[in-house]
Amino acid sequence: MSARRRRRHSPEQIVHKLRDADAMLNAGKDEAVVLQALEVSESTYLRRRKQYGGMKAE
């Protein structure tokens, strides 16, 4: 089993990733494919969506 290194992202990076996720979902991609592309779990995605969903990146 390989141990993946934990990454810390700034709020700007998170907002950018959420915007990318929206674009992929609107293009018709499956949610599982989007989560794999962002390299996050579903719970992390939902938590970040709840916390950073209405923010804009500077």
In-domain check, residue 6: no
pLDDT at position 7, please? 74
- Angle value at C-alpha 54, between 53 and 55, nearest 5 degrees: 100
pLDDT at 8: 84
Residue 38 included in any domain: yes
- Domain extent, residue 31, equals 11-52
Note the pLDDT of residue 37.
94
| pTM recorded for the entire structure | 0.77
* Position 41 pLDDT exceeds 90: yes
- What percent of the chain shows pLDDT beyond 70? 84
The answer to whether position 40 is within a domain reads yes
For residue 45, tell me if it sits in a domain.
Answer: yes
Per the structure, the count of domains in the chain is 1
Count of residues making up the chain = 58
Mean pLDDT of 12-31: 94
